[in-house]
Amino acid sequence: MLKIGEFFMIRELFQKGWTKTAIAEATGFDRKTVSKYLKDNQLPKRKGSKQKKESKLAPYKPYILGRLKEGTTNCVVLLEEIQAMGYEGQLTILRDFVRPLRQQPKKQATLRFETPPGKQAQMDWAYVGKYLVNDVLQDVYGFIMILGYSRMKYVEFTTNMNLETLMKCHMNAFSYFNGIPDQILYDNMKTVVIKHSPMEVRFNRKFEDFLAYYGIVPKACRPRRPQTKGKVERTVKYLKDNFFQRKHEPTLNALNEDIKEWLNQVANKKENQTTNEAPFKRFEQEQKFLKVWGEKPLFPTSHWEHREVSRDCFISYGGKQYSVPYRYV
């Protein structure tokens, strides 16, 4: 690169009568270079530094920023999405880009309590938002159960958390696991626990009958101690941070279809940080210790209530009026 001082020196020598060849020999520059700068009659332009090679992530940054605005901050989910769009880079580049754009949650240390295979499951509900049910937006809840030893998970979405739905979801979970644990740990939800004091824990009679039918012993957490059922609490967080970071049709049916694939392809295949094994792998050991499922008829979950028929042939149920034959008045 010709410096500005050297440019003026070439000009000055030429004005003094030096030939281009003589100037080239005196300065060490090529004769063509001398001719070029005498002919151009302008200062040499500095060449800019070589342009930095574009990152493989660059074409996908607008998409990533859009997904971050939507609330998707899970880099594994984002990686899967941009790989489907053609991204060929590594997860590390993506994480470096996303890290300063999201708030890192503070972690709290808790004592992990491990149970032997087949011994215990933990269960909880999670509110997941409003979704279309028969073309009407309704509140939707997630039923979540996890086996303590293997971390095998089951999730199902419903429009309510009543006792009948709770029992049906339990039976669906037992069918998914193809087995029944000895014990299930619950928080103090009213459909399960009707009284919890230092002296007494009283369970809902019908739900207790349901569990007894399958040989399950219920266990209630101490009030205001969510750490007691930390495995299912972490599953609730994982559900929100991973499953709900993905794109889904805004309907209940679509959610329940997508959750099956997520359980089988993601949640139960991913290595657990505590056991260092995937739930599916560890479940191979645990299933042998579960009680057999499917040997007896399903527990009846029909809900019966008495209603008095009004003089105009209507009964009231669930805040709505239903007509009945006049002979029932």
Please give the residue that has the higher pLDDT: either 96 or 5.
96
pTM summary value: 0.65
Whole-number average pLDDT of the chain: 85
Nearest alpha-carbon partner for 224 in 264, 255, 188, 260? 188
Using one digit for the tens of pLDDT, what is the confidence trace for 131-178? 999 999 999 999 999 999 999 999 999 999 999 999 999 999 999 999
Is the Cβ–Cβ distance between 193 and 185 less than 8 Å? no
Q: Is the pLDDT of residue 71 over 90?
A: no
Query: How far is 262 from 62, CA to CA, in rounded Å?
Result: 26
pLDDT band at 69 (very low <50, low <70, confident <90, very high): confident
Q: Are strands 136-147 and 183-186 parallel, antiparallel or unpaired?
A: unpaired
Q: Is the pLDDT of residue 24 over 80?
A: no
Q: Taking residues 264-274, what's their average pLDDT?
A: 94
Is the Cβ–Cβ distance between 147 and 285 less than 8 Å? no
Q: What's the pLDDT at 243?
A: 96
Strand ranges, E, within the chain: 120-133, 136-147, 153-158, 183-186, 193-196, 201-203, 217-220, 314-317, 320-323
Cβ density class 96-125: b for 16+ within 10 Å, e for less: ebbeeeeeeeeeeeeeeeebebbbbbbbbb
Q: Is the pLDDT of residue 1 over 70?
A: no
Tokens of 298: 């399903």
Q: What's the pLDDT at 16?
A: 67
Q: Is the pLDDT of residue 4 over 70?
A: no
